[in-house]
Amino acid sequence: MATELDDALIDDLDVPIGWLSAEHAARLLVMGRYPFWATARIEYRMVVYVLALTIFLSETAEPAGQPARWPARRWAVLRGHTDGAQDWLRWCSYRLHQPVTGSAAAHRMAHSAWQWLCRRGLHHDDRPDDDGVDLRLGVYFARRALDPPAGE
């Protein structure tokens, strides 16, 4: 028999499904396009975060799901957001600072990914970090991960 405490715990449970789904889809895209990248590489994490933020912040209400099942319109929207590093930065920053709708935990995770990118030196001036990796490469590889495979 459920109690008031059980109901309160369920109401307080904020599972970041939107972010987890976007990050999973991003990992599938990166591993599909760059299967030999080690998951420990900074480039891997950077591209996953760029893609996950793009997927999560795009104006779609449904969870990311499997990229193979996405409609053509969704692919076009995501490609449009990743056409250039500066435009992506401005768009992403703007979307992250909009009022939170949906899961607060998912937005916290998105902010955490954004902060990781910023800590690595990936911000508005496109300044390379200590490893020489910068946002232009992250957005470039993210955009390539969204391109259809050759021959399609």
The per-residue pLDDT for range 20-55, each reduced to its tens digit, is 999 999 999 999 888 888 888 888 999 999 999 999
Q: Is residue 4 part of a domain?
A: no
Answer whether residue 8 is part of any domain. Answer: no
Does residue 6 lie in a domain region?
Answer: no
Domain count, the chain: 1
Q: How far apart are CA 112 and CA 107, in angstroms?
A: 8
- Percent of the chain scored above 90 by pLDDT? 35
pLDDT higher than 50, residue 130 = no
> Among 62, 51, 58, 59, which Cα is nearest to 147's?
51
Whole-model pTM? 0.81
**Structural domain range at position 35:** 15-146
